[in-house]
Structure 1
Amino acid sequence: MRPHVRSHETSHPGAMSLDQPVRFVKHQTVTRDAFLGGRLTLSQPRTGFRAGLDSVLLGAAVRAGTSRLLDLGAGVGTAGLVALALGLAEQADLVERDPPTLDLARANIEANGFARSANALGLDIAAKAAERRAAGLADNAYDVVIANPPFFGAGQGTLAPEASRAAARHMGLSELDLWVRRAAGSARAGGTAIFVYPAHGLATLLGAFEQRFGAIVILPLSPRPGEVASRILVRGIKGSRAPLTLLASRAMHGTEGHGFAPDFDAIFRGAAVLDW
């Protein structure tokens, strides 16, 4: 699922904003796309993994009043910057392991005026404790941890041709557990983790969440009313023992046409947050 964004592609490097990393500008591989009705303009690769609806919904799902936010596997920073742009979080750390993508995340922080409230950390999710500390990633420190982890387990789906896209969208079951474990280790006591994931992976994701979080809430998202859910948002609280809540599925589109349902349209225009 991808949002309808206004693409600001340019035909030559000289027309691009100076905030573009040199390695991208030189090869003309970056587009500048507007999100939240123009409140955010993000540079991202022309090909490979690009931010979509999942990232916007993830950022809009953060609860208001969040002091410290962590975005694991942040890509170009979409979800974390959405949360900042909507005023849901005060500070955000964006963790990304791919150096070119990390450059774009840093450029997006600067270009959107978040230099004082966001940091992009170059780090692999699997990094050892000493590496995490050296990169600036603290344990037991964040009010909310968000993640849009890779989608496919081994043997599922078709590997993307671009290496960065393949890495961003494929993982085994043990790796998914690692993402949840890292979220739990980064969240403070009573902190929240929020993941967006394909519905077919709910059992695996829920199994990892139940080992580390309580008060779990599952929000299924379907393309249209009456259709099977294609995405899920899962939220849990570190240290809680409250039972699980399964919410009613929400349809992102109406029964006809291509437009979004009013509540989702408001989110993608930057006029509302995800209330769940």
Structure 2
Amino acid sequence: MSLDQPIEFVKHQTVTRDAFLGGRLTLSQPRNGFRAGLDSVLLGAAVPKGTARLADLGAGVGTAGLVALALDLAETALLAEIDAEALTLAAENIAANGFAARAEAHAIDIAAPAAARRAAGLVDNGFDAVIANPPFFAAGRGTPAPDASRAGARHMPEADLDQWVRSAAASAKAGGTVIFVYPATALAPLLASFSARFGAITLLPLCPRPDEAASRVLIRGIKGSRAPLTLLASRVLHGTDGRAFSAEFDAIFRGAARLDW
């Protein structure tokens, strides 16, 4: 269902208002718990320009989907999120940033049966692009987050990752684009799931600093394509001083450019 509740319904949270894209986007998010970061911005900036209908799976407070709207990469967006507090904030962020006519926040469990996802608004073959920043630590691995919402955003069994890819594939139109951002160290199961369902897979490794291994990867697949995989050259987020962003990513985070890949 679509959510339209005021910010007062967010309980037990201290909320901050944070600027993204050089102030083009201002988002409410919990002070403690899972907070939007580089991955969410890069995911939204990676959406193909001219996307008519976008779905953001596990949208949290809506960062990636709203970045795509703010950069005019997508015309409309559905923000799918299961956590009630994050969903309330996503709805507030839609309204506060002037996207009420272009975006909706829906309570959707990505791991639910297909019929339940469809009934909640995540229709089959309904989206030109589907994006996701899924939980990335398998159960029993990594350090559990003390905050429940943050833990839910970071931890899930490895087998559930395939369900996220399956849901994305079902939601994308024929010829549609599916993009995930994920830690590079956990790429193997994600690539296997993508390879079973998409073609024209493109991998973009992202390195924190020069001469360091990739820490995260963007992966893109095309539904129905038979084209081979492309492994792009790694790109470096920070310059040689290790602090300032490289020119390419500085432009993205200032809202002056999309991610061209």
TM-score with structure 1 setting the length: 0.91
Identity across the alignment (%)? 72
Alignment of 1:138-177 (within 5 A): 138-177=123-162
Residue 232 of structure 1, aligned match among 217, 221, 226 = 217
Report the secondary structure of 2:204's partner residue: strand
Q: In the comparison of the two structures, how many residue pairs are matched?
A: 257
Alignment of 1:36-185 (within 5 A): 36-185=21-170
Q: Which residue of 1 aligns with 2:8?
A: 22
Aligned-partner Cα distance in 2 for 1:129–1:179: 12
Aligned-partner Cα distance in 1 for 2:156–2:233: 29
- Deviation (angstroms), 1:123: 1.1
Aligned-partner Cα distance in 1 for 2:171–2:13: 36
- Give CA deviations for 1:229-256 in whole Å, capped at 9, x if unaligned: 0000000000111000000000000111
1:245 paired with 2:230, answer: yes
- Deviation (angstroms), 1:112: 0.3
2:149 maps to a residue whose letter is: S
Report the secondary structure of 2:139's partner residue: coil
- Structure 2, unaligned runs of 5 or more: none
Cα RMSD, aligned residues only: 1.2
1:208 paired with 2:193, answer: yes
- Structure 1, unaligned runs of 5 or more: 1-18
Higher relative CO (Cα under 8 Å, sequence separation at least 6) belongs to 2
Report the secondary structure of 2:88's partner residue: helix
Query: Cα 1:28–1:70, aligned 2, differ >3 Å: closer, same or farther?
Result: closer
1:22 maps to a residue whose letter is: E
Report the secondary structure of 2:214's partner residue: coil
- Deviation (angstroms), 1:20: 5.6
Q: Which residue of 2 aligns with 1:7?
A: none
TM-score with structure 2 setting the length: 0.96
Aligned-partner Cα distance in 2 for 1:71–1:60: 13
Report the secondary structure of 1:71's partner residue: strand
Report the secondary structure of 1:154's partner residue: coil
Q: Which residue of 1 aligns with 2:244?
A: 259
- Deviation (angstroms), 1:27: 5.1
Query: Cα 1:188–1:259, aligned 2, differ >3 Å: closer, same or farther?
Result: same
The 8 Å contact of residues 80 and 107 in structure 2, kept in 1 or not, is answered as yes
The 8 Å contact of residues 91 and 117 in structure 1, kept in 2 or not, is answered as yes
